[in-house]
A and B are shown apart, each in its own frame.
Chain A
Amino acid sequence: AQSVAQPEDQVNVAEGNPLTVKCTYSVSGNPYLFWYVQYPNRGLQFLLKYITGDNLVKGSYGFEAEFNKSQTSFHLKKPSALVSDSALYFCAVRDGYSGGGADGLTFGKGTHLIIQP
């Protein structure tokens, strides 16, 4: 079974400061990791993914994430936060050994990111 933990329900950051949204995961095989963002009453938008290769992954809107295999973590980061980054962020994982993604993605409960002006 696979699982994702997002330990913080809410993260508050002042505009212009760096931000980090934490995520840890558990899978049997190789992890395929994703971050999605959700704005109020909207669907999920893809931000970035880690499949293999460089542990630092760059994505949309200036976001990046660092894969740490020993700590089973995939934290989302941004060097300088914007008020418009305020939203609900979800980390998701899939076991790379499952055939064709047929097991679906397992999502965390989400972290509310609030950027204060």
Chain B
Amino acid sequence: ETGVTQSPTHLIKTRGQQVTLRCSSQSGHNTVSWYQQALGQGPQFIFQYYREEENGRGNFPPRFSGLQFPNYSSELNVNALELDDSALYLCASSFAWAGTGELFFGEGSRLTVL
């Protein structure tokens, strides 16, 4: 176990709705990143937060947004859900920037959009 916890584990939404996913980082980690893993694919980088600011972003539209709180926990918000947003969303924490170190992943939140 990595100490990174995510909630909820599963959820179902309909197209056009909004969703918020939550993540608690491993103790001592101040950087959090989010990844989307579609079925049968590798994880894709959404964005990274360091000291409550987004400091890196992958190829995802602005309707994917996030927050990092002073206790280093984080949220991923997705607006105007589309069918293709159905995926496993993984949160990963690390110390300082990801740098040379490994990421510690949570178990993920599986989102189904109908």
Stretch in A42-50, A68-76, A79-87 touching the partner: A42-50
A14 interfacial by beta-carbon distance below 8 Å: no
Residue from A4, A45, A100 having most chain B Cβ neighbours under 10 A? A100
Q: Which residues of B contact A (CB under 8 A)?
A: 2, 4, 31, 33, 35, 40-48, 50, 55-56, 58, 90, 92, 94, 96-108, 110
Q: A44-B90, A90-B42 are in contact. Are A104 and B33 (CB under 8 A)?
A: yes
Q: Contact flags (1/0) for A23-59 with B, using CB distance below 8 Å? A: 0000000001010100001111110010100000000
The answer, among A32, A43, A102, for a CB contact under 8 Å with B56, is A102
Q: Is B100's CB under 8 angstroms from A51's CB?
A: yes
B111 vs chain A, min Cβ distance (A): 14
B103 vs chain A, min Cβ distance (A): 7
Q: Is A101's CB under 8 angstroms from B102's CB?
A: no
Q: Is A104's CB under 8 angstroms from B105's CB?
A: no
B100 vs chain A, min Cβ distance (A): 5
A103 interfacial by beta-carbon distance below 8 Å: yes
Within 8 A of B (CB), among A80-117: 90, 92, 94, 96, 99-110
